Homo-oligomer: A and B are copies of this chain.
Amino acid sequence: MFAVEVRDHVMIAHSLPSPVFGPAQGMHGATFVVDAAFYTKDLDDNGLVVDIGLALEALAEALKPLKYANLDEVPAFKSKITTTEFLCHYIWQQLRDTAKTTGLGDGGRVCRIKVSLEESHVARGWYEADI
């Protein structure tokens, strides 16, 4: 299996309103350094999984609603708890939709996506699945 992975980041505020989150129940925030990996079984005629430039654009587009956002006020997250893991899955869904509509210019070859969010130097999460 081949893959290319590109990196971007967002800086968000949110609260995690459940007792399990202890001190993180109140309004706080995070920088999420986001890695998005696209997998294909083969390379195309140009030797590519997907074009890295298009992959960076697709990731930037998927992150746009999160950039400098208060996630408690983002309509898409209403009544959701926006944990790192949840956000991995949310971004994964956006990138899957981009891939499905050939927004990656890959002719439908992308078969798997992994989205990782690093929330600090000691913790990260990811979601990975076939599309």
Contacts and interface: CB of A to CB of B under 8 A. Distances in A.
A125 B5 contact: yes
Contacts of A52: 84, 123
Interface in A78-130: 80-86, 88-89, 119-129
Interface residues of A, number: 62
> Within the oligomer, what is the number of copies of this chain?
6
Contact of A43 (B3, B16, B85, B126): B85
B8 A123 contact: no
A48 B83 contact: yes
A58 to B, nearest CB: 13
Interface of A: 1-9, 11-14, 16, 18, 20-24, 26-33, 43, 46-49, 51-53, 56, 67-70, 73, 80-86, 88-89, 119-129
